[in-house]
Amino acid sequence: MTASRVLVLNSGSSSVKYQLLDMRDNSRLAAGLVERIGERTSRLKHTPLAAGGEAREWNGPIADHDAALKAVAEELAKDGLGLDSPELAAIGHRVVHGGQTFTRPTVIDDAVLAEIERLIPVAPLHNPANLTGIRTARALRPDLPQVAVFDTAFHTTMPESAARYAIDVETADAHRIRRYGFHGTSHAYVSRATAELLGKAPEEVNVIVLHLGNGASASAVRGGVCVDTSMGLTPLEGLVMGTRSGDTDPAVIFHLARVGNMSIDEIDTLLNKKSGLIGLCGDNDMREIRRRIDEGDARAELAFDIYIHRLKKYIGAYCAVLGRVDAVAFTAGVGENSAEVRAAAVAGLETLGLAVDDALNAVRGDEPRLISPPDARVAVAVVPTDEELEIATQTYALVERTN
Ligand SMILES: Nc1ncnc2c1ncn2[C@@H]1O[C@H](COP(=O)(O)OP(=O)(O)O)[C@@H](O)[C@H]1O
Ligand SMILES: CC(=O)OP(=O)(O)O
Ligand SMILES: [Mg+2]
């Protein structure tokens, strides 16, 4: 029996999301989430999909990522899917920041760990959590290959004209300041799936991918290669997000420091955690915002309008960057589920060849689908993302090749 299972770990600052997949048929054996790590009210939710079982929930304190992973391992073991299983081929880790060093999935050794650690200054919110996840997983199964799949990797093809900020070159280089981009695993997966939906090879199509989750980013993909993306040095730049401001005048920061007497850490928290939709209207969930708009709530409506205005600007910008656009693909929680966001985002863009068909846009489903009118110049599509499957696929392919 050859080992065919991959455990995918996505360790965030206060959460761990995981999935166990069987790569013989890409089926999901188990999935779950540990939330609010480090708080008194941590929660573990585990769904044993293979067993067709009910989700199990556990509430109580989970002190750190180490304890979280051990709790996950225990849950998996209850279904006979423990980390000690000989069928486990590898563990794949989502690593948010790979800088310019990592352009592809990489088997983790001490040198790779050291490099991910060296990148902490450009990813202070994300890389430390990713590192803890890797270290704990390695301690639990030291013999097993562990693979890092980087959010930044897909964007390393961006030309210098898109990747550089117009700031003093020596200063920028000394501090590794440039636009790295994130959600690359999703942008890569969705741009490929969009080509497939059009019945074409990735090399033949130019796609604008709109990854609209709690974090949100847009990318311009020419012939399968990323040429621009909206996130930058960190995942703060670009679109309006659930809790992040996206683009602002950088002078807002000087102003808040000098006139608002806020510390750099306070401003960091403000722009990353208390801005975006939640800062504008108190809610970051698009369902709740739509519900409030339906009740005539003006603040929710303004938040929605600001979100859409920014999104439209990026669609227009990436039409200009690409020249010829074959498809615009909506993905992630908001992109896959909100027909209102999709309709509003392309409304009035007929001169760019963009439109949605209201009936097609209203259809719900898990499969990639077209929502543009049949005669449209540019295809508009809903293409569900699957970052875990993509991480598992890349992890398994690398392990197979190295064995
Ligand atoms: N039915 C829905 N209608 C509108 N928005 C939705 C719906 N379901 C989920 N969402 C949005 O998707 C977001 C989560 O997206 P997701 O891609 O899972 O985010 P992340 O991976 O960043 O946590 C929620 O905050 C919510 O705004
Ligand atoms: C990089 C990033 O923004 O990730 P997430 O959407 O998971 O917060
Ligand atoms: Mg996501």
Q: Are strands 327-331 and 206-212 parallel, antiparallel or unpaired?
A: parallel
- The protein residue with its alpha carbon nearest to ligand 1, atom 23, reads 214
Question: Cα(189) to centroid of ligand 3, in Å?
Answer: 13
Reading the chain (403 residues) residue by residue, the pLDDT tens digits are 589 999 999 988 788 999 999 999 999 999 999 998 888 889 999 999 887 778 999 998 999 888 999 999 999 999 889 898 999 999 999 999 999 999 999 999 999 999 999 999 888 878 998 999 999 999 989 999 999 999 999 999 999 999 999 999 999 999 999 999 999 999 999 999 999 999 999 999 999 999 999 999 999 999 999 999 999 999 999 999 999 999 999 999 999 999 999 999 999 999 999 999 999 999 999 999 999 999 999 999 999 999 999 999 999 999 999 999 999 999 999 999 999 999 999 999 999 999 999 999 999 999 999 999 999 999 999 999 999 999 999 999 999 988 7
Residues with CB under 5 A from ligand 3 (ion): 213
- The protein residue with its alpha carbon nearest to ligand 1, atom 24, reads 285
Active site residues: 151
User: Which residues are annotated as part of the binding site for Mg(2+)?
Assistant: 10, 387
Question: Cα(256) to centroid of ligand 3, in Å?
Answer: 30
Six-digit token string for 108 = 């983790």
ipTM of the shown complex:
0.97
Q: Return the SS3 of 320.
A: helix
Give residue 251's pLDDT. Answer: 98
**Ramachandran angles phi, psi of 247, nearest 5°:** -55, 135
User: Which residues are annotated as part of the binding site for ATP?
Assistant: 17, 211-215, 285-287, 333-337
Question: Cα(153) to centroid of ligand 2, in Å?
Answer: 14
Beta strands, E only, 12-115 = 16-22, 27-35, 43-47, 56-59, 88-95, 106-107
What pLDDT digit, counting tens, does each position of 255-274 carry? 999 999 999 999 999 999 99
Measured between alpha carbons, how far apart are the two ends of the chain, in Å?
15
Ligand nearest to the CA of 388: 3
215 close to ligand 1 (CB < 6 Angstrom): yes
Question: Cα(215) to centroid of ligand 3, in Å?
Answer: 7
- Of 209, 273, 285, the residue with max ligand 1 atoms within 8 A of its CB, to mutate for a pocket test, comes to 285
Question: Cα(310) to centroid of ligand 1, in Å?
Answer: 18
Query: Interior CA angle at 107 toward 180 and 48, to 5°?
Result: 95
**Ramachandran angles phi, psi of 378, nearest 5°:** -115, 130
Give residue 337's pLDDT. Answer: 97
Ligand 2, residues at Cβ distance < 6 Å: 96, 151, 182-183, 213-215, 235
User: Which residues are annotated as part of the binding site?
Assistant: 10, 17, 94, 211-215, 285-287, 333-337, 387
Give residue 244's pLDDT. Answer: 95
Give residue 51's pLDDT. Answer: 73
286 close to ligand 1 (CB < 6 Angstrom): yes
Nearest to 2 by CA among 105, 85, 109, 107: 85
Q: Which atom of ligand 2 is found nearest the CA of 214?
A: 6
- The protein residue with its alpha carbon nearest to ligand 2, atom 4, reads 215
Question: Cα(91) to centroid of ligand 3, in Å?
Answer: 19
Ligand nearest to the CA of 334: 1
Q: Are strands 206-212 and 225-229 parallel, antiparallel or unpaired?
A: unpaired
Give residue 401's pLDDT. Answer: 86
Q: Report the alpha-carbon distance of residue 316 to residue 380 in Å, rounded.
A: 14
Give residue 402's pLDDT. Answer: 82
Nearest to 118 by CA among 131, 136, 103, 105: 131
335 close to ligand 1 (CB < 6 Angstrom): no
- Of 334, 342, 366, 391, the residue with max ligand 1 atoms within 8 A of its CB, to mutate for a pocket test, comes to 334
Q: What is the dihedral of CA 304, 308, 311, 317, to 10 degrees?
A: -150
- Of 287, 340, 388, 391, the residue with max ligand 1 atoms within 8 A of its CB, to mutate for a pocket test, comes to 287
Nearest to 183 by CA among 276, 273, 293, 98: 98
Enumerate helices (H) and strands (E) in the chain, giving the number of each.
15, 14
Neighbour-count burial for 31-68, b at 16+ CB within 10 Å, e otherwise? bbbbbebeeeebbbebbbbeeeeeeeeeeeebeebbbb
Query: Interior CA angle at 110 toward 107 and 116, to 5°?
Result: 75
Q: Return the SS3 of 202.
A: helix
* CA separation, residue 240 to residues 32, 139, 368, 382 (Å): 28, 39, 25, 20
338 close to ligand 1 (CB < 6 Angstrom): yes
- Bridge partner list, 146: 91
Give residue 1's pLDDT. Answer: 55
276 close to ligand 1 (CB < 6 Angstrom): no
Asked whether 328 and 356 are in contact (CB, 8 A), the reply is no
